[in-house]
Amino acid sequence: MIGSGGIKIAEAAEFDYSGSQALKAIKEEGIKAILVNPNIATIQTSHIYADRIYAVPITPEYVERVIERERPDGIMIGFGGQTALSVGVALWRAGVLNRYGTKVLGIPISGMEVALERGLFREAMSRSGIPVPPSRAASSPEDAIEATEEIGYPVIVRVIFNLGGGGSFVSWRSDEFREKIYRAFAHAGLVKTVLVERYLHHWKEIEYEIMRDGKGNSVAVACMENMDPMGVHTGESIVVAPCQALTNREYYIGREVSKRVAGVIGLIGECNVQVAFDPSSEIHYVIETNPGMSRSSALASKATGYPLAYIAAKLAMGYTLDELLNRVTLKTSALFEPSLDYAVVKIPRWDLEKFVGSEARLGSEMMSVGEVMAIGRTLHEALQKAIRMLDIGEPGVVGGPFYEEKHSVEEVLEALRDRRPYWPLWAAKAFKMGASIDEVHKLTGIDRFFLGVVKDIVDLYEEIKRKGVEVLKDPYIIQEAKIMGFSDSQIARAIGLDEDLVRKARIKFVGLPSIKRIDTLAAEWPAQTNYLYTTYGGQEDDVELGD
C-alpha cells in the first residue's frame, strides 16, 4: 500500500486515518501488508498495522525498488491521496506493475485516468449523458486564452493532476486571465495541461460519497453540503452533513448522477463526486470525482459512522457490499445508506499569518492547515461547537472578542464580499449591525437557510443581553440557548455575570447534557460502538452510565 508521504496542505492526517483503516482490513484477511510511507509521525507506520514498512520517498523510482524486492501480488493506491494515485498511475504507464505481476486492487487504472485527467473526464461524462460544465483542455497559455473566447467569461482554470487546487483561479476579464494563466501552467508540472471551465458563480456545491463493488452494487453513504458556494475549494469550505438546503428531488437527482459517475469510471471501492446545483432551478453539473479516499472521505466516515476506508479495502480484495457487515450495528450489511438524526459541521482552520504575502481571502486554491468536526442535534449547536473547537479564542458564533470588536458596516460587508476566513463570525457582526439575510446572501452566495441559522444565534444572544439577569429565572430561554449550542460562558458574557451562576441556573432548569451514540441508522437498530457525542437536544442517554 502506498501512503501519502509528508504532511502538507491538502494532504495530511486524514490519509493516515484511511491508510490505517485499510491496513486493518488487510491484516484481518491474513494477508501480508507492505507499506511505503516516509512519514513516521503516523499511526499506519506502526508494525501493529503493517508487516513491512519502507520509509522512502513516494516516487515511481523508489516504489519500483520496493516492488522489485518484495514482489507483492497486489498494490493499493487509493488510500494515500493524490500522491499515491499519481505514483500508481506512473508505475502502470511505465509497465512496472506488469513486469512484476503486481495487480492494482480496487478501481482500475483506466478508471483513475478518466477521473483524474479533466479532459478525459469531460469526454467520458458527455458520452454517458452526464451533464458537465462547458470546458476545454488547454496545453499552452495561448490555447487557454483561445478557450475563454469559446466558453465566455467568467471562467475557472483547474490544473490537471494537481493537489489542493494549486494554480487554479477564477477570472472575470481577459486582462486578469492573461496575468494568471502563466502561473497556472507553472503548477501544471510535466503534464502541462489545464482545464478552462465556465465558472458557476454562486451555485450550490454538493458532495456525495459513493461506495461501489465489483458487481456494480452501489450506495451513496453521505451527502455533504458546502455552505460556501462554487468557487471556494471544498477544503476551504464549511461543510454540513447531511445536506440541509436541498429539496428531496434535488437530493435524489444528485445521488443518482453520482452513482452513474461511479459506474462510468468502473469504481471498485469509494469515490467522492462533486455536483453543482443552480440555486434557482434543478439544472446541475458534475464537477469532478476523486477516486479513492479523500479529505471528504475522512469527514464522511466520522460524520456517518460508516467506515469508508475499511469497507473500500475489503471491496478491493474482492468482497461485495452485501457480504460485509455494518461495523456499527454488527447485524446489518454494508449495502445500506446511513440515516442521520444529528447534524455534523466541519470548519477549516487557517494560519495565514504564517504565510508571508498570502491573501486573506478564500478561493479555488486550498490554504487551510487543518479542520474540526462538531456534532449536534441542531445545526446551530454543531456550528457553535465547531467554532469553539477551532482554538481561535472565540466561544462560538457570538459573544467573543471578535463579536464585540469595533468594525464599521462597510468593513464587515467588504470582508464578506472578499470571502475572508470564518465567514459565520463576519455574518454575525453584519446581522448585529442590522444587515438583512438577503443583503448577505447577495454578497456571498451563501444559502439563506445557513445565514438564517447564524441570525437565529445572533437574535437569541441579543435577547439574552437585553433581559440581563432575568434570564436566570427563565427556564425556556436557557433551554433554547443550550439547544442552540450556547456555552455557559457565552450566556455569562451576555449578561455580565460569573459563569458559575449561569451553570447553577442551567443545572436547575436544564440539567446535564445527554450522551448520544452515532449509530448510522437513526436508532432503528442498536449500535455496538462507543462513538459518542453530548448534546442538550436529547432527553436520555444512549449508554448506561456507571457510578
Identify the CATH number of the domain in which residue 444 sits.
1.10.1030.10
356 found inside a domain: yes
- Looking at the fold, whether 98 and 140 belong to one and the same domain comes out as no
101 and 138 assigned to the same domain = no
Let me know if residue 273 belongs to a domain.
no
Domain identity same for 142 and 49: no
**Of 84, 105, 126, the domain-final residue:** 105
Q: Using the predicted structure, report yes or no on whether residue 255 has a pLDDT greater than 70.
A: yes
Give the total number of structural domains in the chain: 3
Q: At what angle do helices 437-444 and 423-432 cross, to 10 degrees?
A: 150
Kindly state the DSSP code that residue 525 receives in the 8-state scheme.
S
CATH number at residue 149: 3.30.1490.20
Q: Is residue 265 very low, low, confident or very high in pLDDT (cuts 50, 70, 90)?
A: very high
Q: 252 vs 540, which has greater pLDDT? A: 252
121 located within any domain: no
Closest by Cα among 365, 356, 10 to 167 = 365
- Clarify whether residues 138 and 100 are in a common domain: no
Residue pair 542/525 in contact by the 8 Å Cβ criterion: no
φ, ψ at 136 (rounded to 5°)? -155, 135
In a domain, 534, yes or no: no
Whole-number Å distance between alpha carbons of 522 and 53: 40
Nearest-angstrom CA–CA distance, 238 and 205: 11
CA-CA-CA-CA dihedral for 226, 227, 233, 235, to nearest 10:
-70
Please give the pLDDT value at position 273.
Answer: 96
The partner residues of 2 in beta bridges, in order of sequence, read 36
For the stretch 442-467, pLDDT in tens is 999 999 999 999 999 999 999 999 99
Residues 157, 185: Cα–Cα separation, whole Å: 10
Reported residue count of the chain is 547
Domain range enclosing 24: 14-105
Q: Decide: residue 335, CB within 10 A, 0-12 exposed, 13-18 middle, 19+ buried.
A: middle
* pLDDT per residue as tens digits for the range 381-409: 999 999 999 999 999 999 999 999 999 99
For 5, the grid coordinates are 508521504
Q: Is the peptide bond before 424 cis (omega within 30 degrees of 0)?
A: no
8 A C-beta contact, residue 124 and residue 265? yes
Q: Which pLDDT band holds residue 531 (cuts at 50, 70, 90)?
A: confident
What CATH number did the domain enclosing 22 receive? Answer: 3.40.50.20
Same domain, 101 and 186: no
Same domain membership, residue 407 and residue 480: yes
267 in a structural domain: no
Nearest to 482 by CA among 451, 456, 506, 518: 506
Q: DSSP characters for 426-466?
A: HHHHHHHTT--HHHHHHHH---HHHHHHHHHHHHHHHHHHH
> Given pLDDT bands bounded at 50, 70 and 90, which one contains residue 10?
low
* 81: confidence class by pLDDT, cuts 50, 70, 90: confident
Is residue 449 domain-shared with residue 497, that is, in the same domain? yes
Per residue in 14-30, pLDDT tens?
788 888 999 999 999 99
Instruction: Please provide residue 432's backbone torsions phi and psi, each rounded to the nearest 5 degrees.
Output: -60, -35
Query: CA nearest 191: which of 214, 167, 209?
Result: 167
Report pLDDT digits (tens) over 329-368. 666 788 988 888 899 999 999 887 776 666 778 888 888 8
- Give the pLDDT mean for 295-324: 90
Judge whether 225 lies within some domain: no
What residue spans of 269-399 are helical by DSSP H?
A: 295-304, 308-316, 379-389
Can you give the pLDDT at residue 484? 97
Q: Return the minimum-mean-pLDDT range out of 261-270, 319-328, 340-349.
A: 319-328
Q: Please identify, among 198, 223, 246, the residue that sits at the C-terminal boundary of a domain.
A: 198
Percentage above 70 pLDDT, the chain: 93
Strand-strand pairing, 370-376 and 343-349: antiparallel
Which residues, in sequence order, are bridge partners of residue 272?
Answer: 209, 290
Question: What pTM did the predictor assign?
Answer: 0.91
541 domain residue, yes or no = no
91 with 45, same domain? yes
Q: Are 119 and 137 in contact (CB under 8 A)?
A: yes
Domain identity same for 358 and 457: yes
Domain boundary among 153, 174, 198: 198
Q: Check whether residue 163 and residue 29 sit in a common domain.
A: no
- Chain position carrying cell 500508481: 88
Q: How far apart are CA 520 and CA 447, in angstroms?
A: 27
Indicate whether 352 and 449 sit together in one domain. yes
What Å distances lie between residue 374 and 36, 135, 149, CA to CA?
32, 37, 44
Report the pLDDT value the prediction gives residue 525, as an integer from 0 to 100.
59
Confidence of residue 546 (pLDDT cuts 50, 70, 90): low
Q: Say how far apart CA 357 and CA 364 lie, in whole Å.
A: 17
Would 507 be classed as within a structural domain? yes
Place of cell 508521504: 5
Do 72 and 145 share a domain, yes or no? no
